[in-house]
Structures are given as structure tokens and as C-alpha cells.
Amino acid sequence: MKVLLLGSGGREHALAWKIKESERLTKLYVAPGNAGTEEVAENVDLKVTDFEALAAFVKEKDIDMLVVGPEDPLVEGVRDYFEADGRFPDLMIVGPGKAGARLEGSKDFAKEFMTRHGIPTARHTTVTRDSVTQGVEFLERVKPPYVLKADGLAAGKGVLILDDLEEAKRELNAMLDGKFGKAGNQVVIEEFLKGIELSVFVLTDGKTYKVLGSAKDYKRVGEGDTGLNTGGMGAVSPVPFADEEFNRKVEERIIRPTVEGLRAEGIDYKGFIFFGLMNVEGEPYVIEYNVRMGDPETEVVMPRLKADILTLFEEMAKGQLEKAAFGQDDRYCVTVMLVSAGYPGSYKKGMEITGLENVEGSMVFHAGTKRKDGRLLTNGGRVLAVSSFGETMREALAQSYSNVGKIRFEGVNFRRDIGFDL
């Protein structure tokens, strides 16, 4: 099977690494990829949203399967593009069409979807410039903190959580005035849920689903969950507090109604669903849907997956996922992200990375790296994810941290407390 994987982060390196294990694979391309994917695949210099160029490549190389890593191409309709006019009748695609991708592409759509299907989530209202008074009334009715979300994709920056009512009103207006561009033409205001966050990852063919695993990521840059929000500084899987009882509630109240709801609405969803959840005193609520895998969660979920992933994807694409067998490694897997100095603010690129050859007993997934004249250089805010297994979470963490210390680049930063709260 010839596969084209879209994306360039740690998530894509972990996916590429897993795909590379498959006996079904004959050739793997990653567009655009990074220095890590280059070790297991052939990188191709194509933009993930340049559908025309991607289609030409798929045709030229006779690609059998397109695996979409990030959300942008999905929300922009990469599946719809490839499916139009029956130009690629045999191409299997991992990732939903535009209609399904609205679960991530529009927070208002996601909230309304959950309301229609009785899926537990925070109470909300959605406002535009014309209905701002309704938003102000909602803010005055609920207790702080106040949660404001730009409706559209805002590169993970479109959510504000504010303690002060007057500030919340000001920010609401600023969002409607274009603080986050047109993503904020509509703003979802919702009640704050107090609890512990976790994520659950599912693969679905639109009829049935497989739960790939749970994970918890660490979004703040600083230890003790302080400082600015990042894409994620580390992750652990499984989540110790997600016990059997909690997982059963998640399946019954959230996963099943979501898959059934999509189907009932005539949305043929074939791909990943990332359930961002809040555990409120043992009861699960949906904070957000994503229509892709998480990053860095993929770097702990993929290593635990015991399956030939291309077979799993193929059965999904054929709509017969129920046939696919798969298991999970019982061990814990954790990852620690090494990031550039200054991230998530401004940071420099092009620092030389050394010491990777000394890493033992961990998997290093590249996030923002590139190779130039034989040297490995930093090429992003998040640089490397150091993932390890352990019989216990502590053991897995000790393994990752022992290797983190061997990797060097100027200004390297990482959190020293991944998993310590669990």
C-alpha cells in the first residue's frame, strides 16, 4: 500500500512511525514532514492545504491511502476535494469531510450538535455583533470565571477564560470586532466547568468505533500549570483516574451518541474523533471535539496501539471497522516535549540539536526539526517529544527524563512535572 501522510509535527512523526511498522506498507510519503519523518518516509515539499498539488502527487505516485494529520485541510474540505467527480474512486482517506470537520471548525456547530443529541457539555449561548446584548446578559447570569470562544479555527488561541465580568464584556466585544479575525465573527460563551481535563481518542467508520486510548496533556508552558498555553508540553496514557466506570460513562453518554448523531444527520464520518473532556466529580462533559489526533497525545497513544494500523485504516475506509482486531499495550506511555526558549511566544529557529545518539530506551518523535547539511536543527517551538513505556507511570517518566537530559540545543526548555499530579 502506498500512503501519503499530511502534516509536519510530532503527531505526524508518531503516525509515520506506526504506519512504517505495517507489513502492508510499500511506500510512505509525508508532506511536508520534518527531519524525523524523513528517517521513516520520503518527505515531499507540498503544502497540506494545496489540494491541487496534492491531487497531482496522488495521481503521479498512484497513492492508495491519504492520512490527514492536522485539522486545517479537513476543515477546508480535503476529503470533499478528492471525492468530487469520482476522480480517485479507489483512494482511501483517513479524516472526515467538511461537514464532519465542523465539529472542530465551528464551536457553535459542535455545541448545537451536542444539544441536539443530549451529549453532556457546558451550557452556552452563541452571539454575533447583532446579538451581543444576549451575550452580556448570559455573562451577567453565570458565575465567574467566564469562558469566551471564537467560533472558528484560531490556531488554538481563540479561547479566553476571565475572572472579571467587565473584562469579559470588553473581550467579548474585542472578539466580535476581529481580535481573532473572522474566527470570532461568532463567539460561544459558556459556563465554566470545574474538574480535571483528559482526552479520549476514537477511530470511526461512521457506524462503529474503536477507542484507541485516553490521554492527558499538559498545556501550560510552566510547571504547576502556570504560564501561557502551548500546543502541549507532555502527555500520559492511559489516564489513571479514567477508571472503568468513568470510561463506561464516556462511551455511553458521549462516544456512542456522537457517532450515532453524525450518522443520523447524514454525515459520513470516517476518521479520528478527539474528545476533549472534563471530569467533573466523576461525570464526563465534552469541552471540545477535534477531528484529528492530538499532539503530543499521538506520541503516547500510537506506541500503545497493538494493531497493524494500515489494516485498521483500510477496514475503516471500507466501512467495516467492526471486523478490525486491535489491542492496547497495558503499560503506561508518557512523553516530555523539548521546546525552544521563548515558546509559546517568539523563539529562534536553527539551533543545532545534539545528543540524540545517546538516547536509550525511549522513542524520540520530532516535532519542529529539519536537517541541513547533515546537521539536525530546531525548526519550531515544539522541537522533540521523548516518549517512554513503563509498568508504572513513574517508571515511564523516569525513563523519559533520563533521556531528556542527554539531548541538547541552545535554550532547550521542558516541564519537569509531567504526570506528577496524577
Candidates 53-61, 191-199, 332-340, 369-377; binding stretch for ligand AMP (CB under 6 A) = 191-199
Q: Which is nearer to ligand GLY, 231 or 344 (CB)?
A: 231
Size of the site for ligand AMP (CB under 6 A): 12
Q: Could you give the C-alpha distances from 415 to 69, 154, 337, 401, in angstroms and in order?
A: 25, 25, 8, 10
Q: Which residues contact 192 (CB under 8 A, 6 or more apart)?
A: 122, 142, 143, 144, 145, 146, 147, 161
Closer residue to ligand GLY, CB minimum distance, 73 or 231? 231
Nearest residue (CB) to ligand AMP, 231 versus 419: 231
Give least dist CB 422 to ligand AMP, A: 16
C-alpha cell at 15: 503516525
Binding mask 141-180 for ligand AMP (x = CB under 6 A): ------x-x---------x-x-------------------
Q: Are 393 and 332 in contact (CB under 8 A)?
A: yes
| Residue 193 near ligand AMP by CB under 6 A | yes
Half-sphere exposure of 145 (CA within 13 A, CB side): 10
CA distance 234 to 397: 10
- Which residues contact ligand GLY by CB under 6 A? 217, 231-232, 290, 294-295, 297
Return the range that interacts with ligand AMP (CB under 6 A); candidates 187-195, 233-241, 299-307, 330-338: 187-195
Binders of ligand AMP in range 195-234 (CB under 6 A): 197
User: In this structure, how many other beta carbons lie within 10 angstroms of the beta carbon of residue 209?
Assistant: 20
- Which residues sit opposite 369 in a β-bridge? 378
| Length, in residues, of the chain | 422
Establish if 32 lies at the interface with ligand AMP (CB under 6 A): no
Query: Whose Cβ is closer to ligand AMP: residue 123's or residue 306's?
Result: 123
Which candidate, 382, 219, 190, places its Cα nearest to that of 286?
A: 190
For residue 253, give every residue at least 6 positions away whose Cβ sits within 8 Å of its Cβ, in sequence order, or none. 119, 120, 284
Residue 381 binding target from ligand AMP, ligand GLY, none, CB below 5 to 8 Å by type:
none
In the complex, least distance from residue 148 CB atom to ligand AMP, rounded to whole angstroms: 9
147 binds, among ligand GLY, ligand AMP, none (CB under 5 to 8 A by kind): ligand AMP
Closer residue to ligand GLY (CB): 232 or 368: 232
What cell does 284 get?
464526563
Amino acid letter, residue 337: M
Q: Which grid cell is 254?
A: 458521549
- What's the closest the beta carbon of residue 232 comes to ligand GLY, in angstroms? 4
201 beta partners? 213, 274
Which entry of ligand AMP, ligand GLY, none binds 271, CB below 5 to 8 A by partner kind? none
Cell of 185: 465573527
- The minimum distance between CB 269 and ligand GLY, in angstroms, equals 18
Whose cell is 515539499? That residue is: 45
Q: How far is the CB of 49 from ligand AMP (least distance, A)?
A: 21
Contacts of 298 (CB under 8 A, 6+ apart): 10, 11, 14, 15
Residue 161 vs 264, nearer CB to ligand AMP? 161
- Segment lying near ligand AMP (by CB under 6 A), choices 168-176, 188-196, 291-299, 334-342: 188-196
**DSSP states of 317-375:** HTT-GGG---EE-SSEEEEEEEE-TTTTS-----PBPB-GGG--SSEEEESSEEEETTE
Residue 305, beta-bridge partner list: 328
122 binds, among ligand GLY, ligand AMP, none (CB under 5 to 8 A by kind): ligand AMP
> Pick from ligand AMP, ligand GLY, none: which does 295 bind, CB < 5 to 8 A by kind?
ligand GLY
Would you say 396 and 388 are in contact if contact means Cβ atoms under 8 Å apart?
yes
Spatial distance between the Cα atoms of 239 and 109, rounded to a whole number of angstroms? 28
Nearer to ligand GLY, 10 or 135 (CB): 10
Q: Which is nearer to ligand AMP, 197 or 268 (CB)?
A: 197
Does position 287 interact with ligand AMP (CB under 6 A)? The reply is yes
Q: Per rule CB under 6 A, is residue 71 in the interface with ligand AMP?
A: no
Which residue ranges make up the site for ligand AMP (CB under 6 A)? 122, 147, 149, 159, 161, 190, 192-193, 197, 276, 287-288
